[in-house]
Structure 1
Amino acid sequence: MGVTVCYDFQIFVDQLYGGISRYIYELAQRVNRADGFSSKVLAPLYKNRYLRPEDSFVRGFPLPGAPENRRIYRAVNWISSPLVDRFAGADLLHETYYQLRTIPLRRKVVVLTVHDMIHERFRALFPSNDDTVLRKKAAIRRADQIICVSESTRRDLLEYFDLPESKVAVVHHGFNPTSGGDLPAPTTVMPDRPFLLYVGDRKKHKNFEGLLRAYATSPWLSKEFALVCFGGGAFDVDELLALKKYGGREGSVVYAGCSDLILFALYRQATAYVCPSKYEGFGIPLLEAMYSGCPVACSNTGSLPEVAGDAALYFDPYDPESIREVLEYLALSESKRAELTLHGRRRAALFSWDKCATETMALYRRTLGV
């Protein structure tokens, strides 16, 4: 029996680029070319850049020049999706994010992916009008089966929601290796000395300030190594003030723009990749770094030990001195870096989007009972 899976428009309206839309796109294209399966991304109007009109599984059109107001996109998609569904058809709906009501399609089995429990664990960090928790509750209640991207996220979900364990399965993410790492990074990005690498946005739970404090208060680290921050936008006033507060050297913390070619070149050239986050649902940059041969130092919390295994040095993200000690040791020990590089490449080989898609399709079949 052939299985047709529908992925809704939500995340492709919300994200131009991003980890969740990348995950759904990687799934959809692999499901569509698998024997006994087909997929449809039901996004009548979308702004996401991963989707391409020439993809046979995409049911919709990009509007790169359209207003950024999400309400316009959502209203049009909400009205149009049932009409498109009549022609696309599907056995199963995989909701791509959390909303209060399901899209008014013909009744289907519903699968939902829960990526993390950040909003539940760190509610004080979010505005009082943030309704993510409310929307997530509604989506979880109506799902027939839930995927968590790590065992850590699964444990957290079962802690906050009274769900039968059989309703929640773990399927790890993959990542996108790229040959771009063989290319040198532009010299304008690179500091004139060895560097530690931070990747991604710098939201409060990411604990960038904790890393900044550990780095800036180490006279040796801040003199001998730069701290390169990839992505997340230019430094804001608070971050610049924090660097000054902790006595950081001017020009020692460098921002690098967003390009996969630059990112993978930075992984290849960095002394170490550092992830000081207090909580992550998964941690794709860890895999990217390990694949690229970059030693990893990261927090001992959330899913990070589950992803990195024996291929990282761990620190307590709540203790800047712990972060500093691990970074100084790793920067000094060439043999430890070589060991982590070897273990990291082996560890990264255990994760792929192909494996993620295969396990997800098996879950689809179990959920449908076919």
Structure 2
Amino acid sequence: MKILYDHQAFTVQDVGGVSRYYRALLDHASPDVHSHVPVVVSNNVYLQDRRHTNHSAFFPGQSFRGRFSFMWKLNRLACRRALRRGSYDVFHPTLIDDPYFMHEVEDKPMVITIHDLIPVLFTEQYPQTDVALIGRIAQRANQIIAVSEHTRTDILRLLPVSPERVTVVPHGYTPSPPPRTLLPEGYLLYVGTRSGYKNFDCLLQALAQLVRRPGLQAQRLVCAGGGRATEAEQDRLQELGLTQHVQFMGLVQEAELAGLYRGAAAFVFPSLYEGFGFPILEAFAQKCPVVLSNASCFPETAQDAALYFDPHQPADLAQQLHLLLLEPALRRQLQQLGTLRLADFTWAQTATRTRAVYRAAQDLPQPVLL
């Protein structure tokens, strides 16, 4: 079976969860699956070894990745040529941002992966999102992979597709490099961007309550990967009396991020919505206790290996953190449960289940576009 992946995730991301997902599918494919990725120019770190591509890098770290960049145009042209040659059994675009392939794929089977429907659910934060286009691409797909049951439910609720075309295939976990210590242990950790649905202010309000409670350790928060503090965030910290309690790390390398998880008293994920919640697995791998909002996919992903709170109630989060920080036995229990839960997520299993989806895409009749 020949699978054609396209360039999009590997063009727009130098590093990131989506392109890492596709690299894992390439690495763990069964012997009868032969994959092709027609990428001409890319700075993506997961393609650096060129095991699956024959591409060139171009000034790594520079911004040449936009939809109208020369990098995008060259790679899209290469993908169009591969689609027109037709020497593949299933086409799997790595993103659905650009509909260039809709007229090129013709009657060949197509599979798409939907990691989340955040741009559809939070349109005020993503005003450029073409919701109708997402619906047309989903409708054209022979099969859709959803990364969680929660995402599958949203797909069936929000997009014009039938249930038999949507299959849940969770992510696996890629072991990180050996942790590199950056800070003394004993802080709360937040990872990723902080705006909008990420609900970061709930965590700040909870922290403001914690710092007023005497005798507690870990009364500081470290934020990794989401950039430096904005002016609005600095004002908010001052308003809450947290200026000396929050540290912004900006971009960190994988080994450094692993070290931050390893040294944290707890990883906190207050988001209102996620498709899967991959940082949860990263925390589990470093034996970091996890505290999650009880929203979206989080209970499905972590199950009993985390503490949960109402994301609209900062006092609830503060209470859960207070409990965790005062109870060493609870922290050890969460570490053990996290290790057990992590074992349920392997890329080998993800690749095997994805192969079954490819087979189903070949067997199902061509979708009828409305």
Q: Specify whether residues 290 and 136 from structure 1 end up closer, same or farther in structure 2 by C-alpha distance, changes over 3 A only.
A: same
1:359 to 348, 353, 363: 353
Q: CA deviation at 1:260?
A: 1.3
Is the Cα–Cα contact under 8 Å of residues 216 and 222 in structure 1 kept in the other structure?
no
Q: Residues 79-228 of structure 1: matches in 2 within 5 Å? A: 79-84=77-82, 89-98=87-96, 99-102=98-101, 104-105=104-105, 107-126=107-126, 128=127, 130-181=128-179, 183=180, 185-186=181-182, 190=183, 194-218=186-210, 219-220=212-213, 224-225=217-218, 226-228=220-222
Q: Distance in 1 between matches of 2:303 and 2:206?
A: 24
The yes-or-no answer on 1:263 pairing with 2:257 is yes
Aligned length: 356
* Distance apart, 1:53 and its partner CA: 5.9
> In the TM superposition, what are the counterparts of 1:70-85 in structure 2 within 5 Å?
70-72=67-69, 73-84=71-82
- Provide the C-alpha distance between the structure 2 equivalents of 1:121 and 1:275, rounded to a whole number of angstroms: 19
Residue identity opposite 1:95 in structure 2:
P
More moved, 68-77 vs 140-149: 68-77
Q: Cα offset for 1:133?
A: 2.5
Q: Is residue 13–residue 47 contact of structure 1 (8 Å, CA) maintained in 2?
A: yes
State the partner residue of 2:47.
51
Tell me how far 1:148 sits from its aligned partner. 0.3
Q: What secondary structure, in the 3-state scheme, does the structure 2 residue paired with 1:50 have?
A: helix
Question: Structure 2 regions of 5+ residues with no counterpart?
Answer: 365-370
Asked if the contact 2:139/2:160 (under 8 Å) is kept, the reply is no
Give 1:142 deviation, angstroms: 1.5
Task: Please list every run of at least 4 consecutive aligned residues from structure 1 whose deviation after the TM superposition is greater than 6 angstroms.
Answer: none
- The root-mean-square deviation of aligned C-alpha atoms, in Å, is 2.2
Contact 2:65 2:72 in 1 (8 A): no
- When normalised by structure 1's length, the TM-score is 0.90
Task: Give, in whole Å, the separation in 1 of the partners of 2:2 and 2:328.
Answer: 51
Percentage identity across paired residues of the two chains: 35
Q: Partners of 1:10 and 1:200 in 2: how far apart? A: 21
| Aligned-partner SS, 2:188 | strand
Kept after mapping to 2: 8 A contact 1:216/1:243 = no
Q: Supply the distance in 2 between the matched residues of 1:232 and 1:318 (Cα, whole angstroms).
A: 22
Query: What is the 5 A alignment of 1:210-249?
Result: 210-218=202-210, 219-220=212-213, 224-225=217-218, 226-248=220-242
Structure 1 gaps, min length 5: none
Residues 1:162 and 1:203: Cα distance change in structure 2 (over 3 Å): same
User: Does structure 1 residue 331 correspond to structure 2 residue 329?
Assistant: no
- Greater relative contact order (Cα < 8 A, sep 6+): 2
Deviations 1:225-281 (A, max 9, x none): 211111111111111111111121x33111224111111112122111111011110
Alignment of 1:291-330 (within 5 A): 291-330=285-324
Q: 1:84 to 1:364 in 2, by over 3 A?
A: closer
